[in-house]
Structure formats: structure tokens, C-alpha cells
Amino acid sequence: MKKEMDRYKYSIIALLFLVVSISLLSIQHVQADDKVIRVGMEAAYAPFNWTQKNPDNGAVPIEGTSSQYANGYDVQVAKMLAKKLNKKVVIVKTAWNGLVPALISGKIDAIIGGMSPTAERIKEIDFSKSYYASSIVVVVNREGKYGKATKLSDFKEAKITGQQGTIPYTLISQIPDVNKQTAMADYPQMRQAVISGVADGYVAERPEALTAEQANHSLKMISFKKEEGFQTNTEEISVAVGMRKGDADLATVNDVLADWTILKQRKLMEKMIKTQPVTEDDGKNKFFSQVFTIVRESGSQFARGAGLTLFIALVGTLIGLVIGLAIGVFRTKPKSSNKFLYCLDKILNGCLSIYIEVFRGTPMIVQAMVIYYGTAQAFNLNLERTFAALLIVSINTGAYMSEIVRGGIFSVDKGQFEAAQAIGMTHGQTMTKVVLPQVIRNILPATGNEFVINIKDTSVLNVISVVELYFSGNTVATQNFQYFQTFTIIAVIYFVMTFAVTRILRLIEKKIDGPTDYLPYANQMQVEDAAGEHYSLVGGVKK
């Protein structure tokens, strides 16, 4: 009994030591840096903010990347405010829906990304004075049914969309008898929807619409007279700097913006509209030539994104497999006769059941948001992005693999357990020497399937700004405005990776299975002829 107790004690101590060691290496307390202001934005909402490949025209490097820079109206405003605060600007590229959680959790210090101070947002964060005010318009296909619209009533029964969580999307309801579509994640997606005919138009601010027209001549901005357009209040058409509740820098920011007149706003916006990088499409370029051009110019970004995707998927799958094997072995072990150990087993089994059900029953994108932002907000701990990605994929995969392993263990004939017990083998010896080798072979196809799924599911990690393949590809699309061509390349890369992984796993399976013409050693006989040459005699035939 003492040996069994010691095994439990040492196993728990080793596990705790491993967890603490990894945590100390990868986690740091969230602390404010007085010399830096971390500004969150999409860097994909031109002309307010965009991503470019060089530091030209006053662009600022994007955190976590080696060759990407952010520029635009928001970036220049951020630089102006940082200079007054005597701080250096660091741009943190963040998905729109992740901006407020990132600010509250301390991942960023300010949101300068075209965000309006709505009543709902004011409950969560503070806002500065307005740094830009615009009008609301509709972007349509120039040659489409609504290309000559002049008032809201002209869009009767039109399929209109907008960006999720924004004021323009809520204003769609003002259009009489409109066919309001589901909100979309970003403006590149909406532009493609209008170009392809999926939507008849989308609602946006005037600067974004001007950019859309400049980027693609098939798009057209429909503006309205005051009495025939959207009815808005000052807060709905204004954008402001979002900051945490009680931030001492807010007063200084307001002092700077007090002198930021409408004339200065318009002058800077006009400059940014002319400065933004735009790849014009005159309709003469062929699809495949455009694809090859994108690969040639942005191949390194795709390669880095694909590399990180494979790394996260591979490591996450392997760690998940180890977690699954450990849980599977533990949950199938015999019940202990010791009351204390029996109760401990019940408690651990209950905890493992909760872990499995929670991570199998919730989407990985939700888990990413909760783990990455939640740990910072609840425990004041800052997970490094790549480590957070590995943690999320690993524990998610572990929950699925534990059930796969349990099924694999149950598939082994009970007679093998009984035979091992009959010759005095412990449960641990039975598992490691008899059962698990068979289980690993049996679950290999399912493990490979999890690997393939993880390659594709890493795309959801863009919500915490992990620069994987989808994130990298989306960045390229915001630079060249050729969305269909760019995402075609991304789809091909995903297919190549998953197809290659599938083929490699099939070869591994065949290697483990051994040759199909295998004969037991007992049926073979080694013979030495008169000349001293050795050969095998199988079934009386020389081999």
C-alpha cells in the first residue's frame, strides 16, 4: 500500500512541478509600461487603419511581426497622442470583436480603431472626445440594380449587410422593407460579398467607402441628402479613443483632442486616403496572373503563417495525445481497495469528466477568448500568444483524445488483461507493455484526423492575433484588395498541408502493420549449405 501511495505522491508532485515550470517560463504579470502605449486596431479598415509591408509614410511596426507595419488616420492620431504623453506607440493588431476584451484585460492600453462611443461600450470602457466625425453611406456594385440609388427608399428589398458590432450595421433597420443580412466580420469580407453578388450593398462610413471605390472600380459609394439618408446622432457618426475605466492618461488625451479641429481632421483624412496602398484592378488582368503575382510578392508571409500553423497543430496534437493517453489509462484502472485512494480517484474522475465535457462542448474560438483574455483580466497574468495558442489547442485536443483512447482500450480483448494479470503484471505494466501498443495503432487514424482538424482550426486563433496562415493571408488581402485571389491561395495551402499529412500518416500505418507476406519465425529455418552460405528455408523452399 505504501508503494501505491508513493506513486500517487510522486506523480502529483512531478505534474505540479512541470505545470509550474512551464507557467513561469511563459506567463508574466500584466504591468503597465510608462514609456509605451499599446494601441489596438484591426489594421484592416482603410483609410482609418491598414497593414503595409514597409515603414513608408510614417507607418508603425505591428507587434509580433517582422515585416508588417500599420498606417492610416488612426495610426497618425495615435502617434500624435503618444508624443504628447511622451510615450512610444506599439500597434497590436486585433480582431474587431477582441478589441474591448483586450483593453479590459490589459493586453492593450487604448483602442484607436474607428470605434464609436455607444452607450453599451461606455458601460465597459471610457472614451475620449471625438477625433473624427463622418457620414454614413452605402457601398454597392456600380453595375448592379442599386447603382443609381439616391435615397434610402431606393433600397427596398435589397440585401444589405454591415460589420458585426458596429453602428452602421444597426442603422440598416432604417431602410424601408430592407432584407437585412447577417453581419460580417470585416470590410474585406463585405466588399467581396458585394462584388460576388452575395449582398447588394453594405453600410459604412464615408472614408471607408471612398477607399472601396479606389480599390475596385466595380464598387460605388451611394451618399444621401440629409433628409433622405440615415438619421444619426453625434455619438453614432463620431469615433473616439477607448481607454480603461479610470485611466489617468484620458485627461491628457482630451486636452490634445480639444485642439483637433474639424479642419485638421479633414486635412489628415484626405492625406491618408491618397497615401493608402491600393492595387487597382482595371479588369484586364487574368485571374491566374494575379495569383502568381500575389505569391511572388507575399510568399514569405504565407510561408511564415503556414509554418506557425503546422507547428501549433503538430505540437498541440502530440501534447493532446499524451493527455488523452494519461486520462485514458487513469480512467480504466481498477478501483483501489484503500478508501482514501478510492475517494481520491472519484474526485479526480469527476474533475476529468468536467474538463472533457467543457472542452468538447464549447467552440475553440470561445476557449481562445476566455483563456487568453480571461487569465489576464481575472488573474492579472499575461500569456504569450504562441504559448496560449499551444495551450488552447493541446487541452482542446486532449479532451477529444481521452475519449478516443478510452474507446481504444476497451477495444482490446479482455482476455489479454486477464492473461497479464495471471502472470503477475500490474495495471501499469499491462497498459505500457500489452495494451497501449495496440491502442496506439488502433487510434492512429483518429489521431491523424485530429491533426488535420487542428491544422484547419488554428484559423480561429486569429481572434487573439496569432499570426497563423489565415491571419497572414487576411493581412495580405487587406494590402492588395484582391480577396478572391488571395483566399484561393490560402485554400490551396491548407489543402496541400492536410493532404500531405494524411499521406504521411497512411505510410506510418503501413509501416506499423508490417509486410503483408509476413510468416511466423517458427515456420522459417536457417540452413547452411556445403559452401558455407546461409539461407532461409520456408516451407521447404529456399529463399
393: Cα within 13 Å, side-chain hemisphere: 31
pLDDT tens, position by position, 481-495: 777 889 999 999 999
Which H or E run includes 129?
strand 126-133
Task: State how far the Cα of 242 lies from the Cα of 115, in Å rounded to an integer.
Answer: 8
Task: State how far the Cα of 187 lies from the Cα of 95, in Å rounded to an integer.
Answer: 12
Task: State how far the Cα of 92 lies from the Cα of 40, in Å rounded to an integer.
Answer: 5
Residues contacting 394, CB < 8 A, separation 6+: 315, 316, 319, 320, 323
Pick the CATH number of 136-222 from 3.40.190.10, 3.40.50.2300, 1.10.3720.10, 2.120.10.30: 3.40.190.10
Average pLDDT taken over every residue of the chain: 84
What is the C-alpha R_g of the chain?
Answer: 30
Biggest CA pair distance of the chain: 110
Mean pLDDT across 449-453 = 93
308: Cα within 13 Å, side-chain hemisphere: 25
Residue 437 identity: P
Exposure of 503 by Cβ count < 10 A (0-12 exposed, 13-18 middle, 19+ buried)? exposed
Q: What is the 3-state secondary structure (H, E, C) of 460-483?
A: HHHHHCCCCHHHHHHHHHHHHCCH
Task: State how far the Cα of 75 lies from the Cα of 90, in Å rounded to an integer.
Answer: 10
Q: How many CB atoms lie within 10 A of CB 135?
A: 15
Domain extents in the chain: 31-129+239-281, 136-222, 291-513
Give residue 535's pLDDT: 52
Q: Three-state DSSP class for 69?
A: strand
Which H or E run includes 314?
helix 287-331
Q: Is the pLDDT of residue 8 over 60?
A: no
- Give percent of the chain above pLDDT 70: 87
User: Topology of domain 291-513, per CATH?
Assistant: MetI-like fold (1.10.3720)
CATH superfamily, region 31-129+239-281: Periplasmic binding protein-like II (3.40.190.10)
Give residue 96's pLDDT: 87
Judged by average pLDDT, the poorest of 225-234, 340-349, 467-476, 513-522 is: 513-522
Which H or E run includes 527?
strand 524-528
Residue 342 identity: Y
pLDDT tens, position by position, 179-230: 999 999 888 889 989 988 999 999 999 998 988 888 788 999 999 988 889 9
C-alpha triplet 294, 299, 302: angle, nearest 5°: 105
Q: What is the 3-state secondary structure (H, E, C) of 420-456?
A: HHHCCCCHHHHHHHHHHHHHHHHHHHHHHHHHHHHHH
Residue 74 identity: D
Give residue 532's pLDDT: 55
Place of cell 558455407: 532
DSSP lists the bridge partners of residue 240 as: 130
534 is written with which cell numbers?
Answer: 546461409
Closest to 101 measured CA to CA, from 336, 327, 372, 306 = 372
pTM, two decimal places: 0.74
Residues contacting 437, CB < 8 A, separation 6+: none
Closest to 377 measured CA to CA, from 253, 245, 249 = 245
238 is written with which cell numbers?
Answer: 463620431
pLDDT tens, position by position, 95-142: 888 899 999 999 999 999 999 998 889 999 999 999 998 889 999 999
| 58-67, 232-241, 314-323, 435-444: which is most confident | 314-323
The sheet carrying 50-52 orders its strands as 50-52, 69-71, 60-61
DSSP 174: G
Task: State how far the Cα of 532 lies from the Cα of 517, in Å rounded to an integer.
Answer: 28
Residues contacting 73, CB < 8 A, separation 6+: 47, 48, 49, 132, 207, 268, 269, 272
Task: State how far the Cα of 331 lies from the Cα of 345, in Å rounded to an integer.
Answer: 9
Cα 394 off chain centre by: 14
Identical topology for domains 31-129+239-281 and 136-222: yes
Is there a contact between 63 and 92 (Cβ–Cβ < 8 Å)? yes
Q: Is the pLDDT of residue 1 over 70?
A: no
144 or 424, which is more confident: 144
